[in-house]
């Protein structure tokens, strides 16, 4: 969980990418697909998990690029 990446919609209509433990978003993007692509590459590089959140923080998708009990989707 320590290096997990989180894609979250922000209140300005864009999408933020956050790293676990960071006090602010690392990057923001106009579209969800751009944010997911950036976060996916970072999760792959770190062998960590990627979570895509809804506006209220709930999880809409989870992908694992690490060695945890959850296999990656797709």
Partner 1 sequence: MFHKSVFINCPFDEKYIELLRPLLFTVLYLDMVPRIALERLDAGEARFSKIVELIGACKYGIHDLSRAKAEKRDEYYRMNMPFELGLDIGAKLFGQVQLSGKITLILEEERYRHQATISDLSNADIAVHGNEPEEVVKAVRDWLSHAANLRADGPSAIWGAFIEFMAHNYDALKQRGYSDKDIERLPIPELIENMSIWTAARRP
Q: How far is the CB of 66 from partner 1 (least distance, A)?
A: 12
Residues near partner 1 (CB under 8 A), total: 24
Give the integer Cα–Cα distance in Å for 40 and 43.
5
Whole-angstrom Cα Rg for the chain = 11
Q: How far is the CB of 38 from partner 1 (least distance, A)?
A: 16
Give the integer Cα–Cα distance in Å for 61 and 9.
13
Site string for partner 1, 9-48 (x = CB under 8 A): -xx------x-xxxxxx-----------------------
Q: What is the SS3 assignment for 65?
A: coil
Q: How far is the CB of 46 from partner 1 (least distance, A)?
A: 15
């Amino acid at each position: 969980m320590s290096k997990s990446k989180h894609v979250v919609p922000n209140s300005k209509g864009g999408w933020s990418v956050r790293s676990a433990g960071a006090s602010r978003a690392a990057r923001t993007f106009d579209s969800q697909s751009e944010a997911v692509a950036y976060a996916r590459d970072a999760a792959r590089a770190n062998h960590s998990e990627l979570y895509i959140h809804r506006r209220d923080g709930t999880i809409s998708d989870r992908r694992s690029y690490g060695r945890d009990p959850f296999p990656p989707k797709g």
